Structure formats: structure tokens, C-alpha cells
Amino acid sequence: MQKEKLSGLSQKQKLITSISTNGKVMKLEDKVAYFGMVLVQGALLPSHFSGIFPHWSLPFFLVIGLCCYQYRAYVQKDVVYTIGNMTGIFLNGSMLIRILFFS
């Protein structure tokens, strides 16, 4: 009787652990993807802060390309790429506005 209780409790504990961690643990490849996203999108920040801007065609075509990537990410429901694409569209779009209207 005692062994059955222990066995039942351990199975319940395993079930509770699997339920509580299911979907909440970030996979290594997602962590690497987020880190890469920060590096790639952060590459524009020095230009924003220094005021030394590239030619307008660079952020323009990056925004167009990121919109194409975003369409794919939306269809595939990929959260990592959606966050990265939207960050890139915002940063490149704001740089494009600064280049065209404020320099």
C-alpha cells in the first residue's frame, strides 16, 4: 500500500512538472536566434546616435526586404523572426525618415 502511494505520488509529481514546464522553457536555438537578432538590429544604433547616416538606399531596401521576410514569418507564425523583422523595420524606417527629412 505504501509503495503504491509513493509510486502514485511520483507519477503525479512528474505530471505536474511536465505541465508546469511545458511550453515555457526556451530552446537553445531560440536563445541563439534572439541573441543574433539583438546583434543584427543593434548594428544600426551607432548611426542613429552619431548622426552619420548611410545613403538612403540602404535602409530603404532593408525595409523592403524585411517586409518580405515578415510576410513569411507571419505565414509560418514564427515569433522570433516577427520580433526581429518588426524591430528592423522600425529602426530602418526611422533612419530613413531621419535621412530624408532631417539631414
Q: Which cell numbers hold the place of 78?
A: 514564427
In a domain? residue 40: yes
Q: How many CA atoms lie within 13 A of 64 on its CB side?
A: 5
Domain with 36, as residue range(s), is 28-102
Mean pLDDT to the nearest integer, 85-91: 93
Q: How many domains does the chain have?
A: 1
Q: Which cell numbers hold the place of 54?
A: 548611410
pTM, two decimals, is 0.66
Mean pLDDT to the nearest integer, 23-32: 79
In a domain? residue 11: no
Strands (DSSP E) found in the chain? none
Which CATH number belongs to the domain containing residue 51 in this structure? 1.20.1280
DSSP letter at 51 equals -
- Cα distance between residue 92 and residue 102, in whole Å: 15
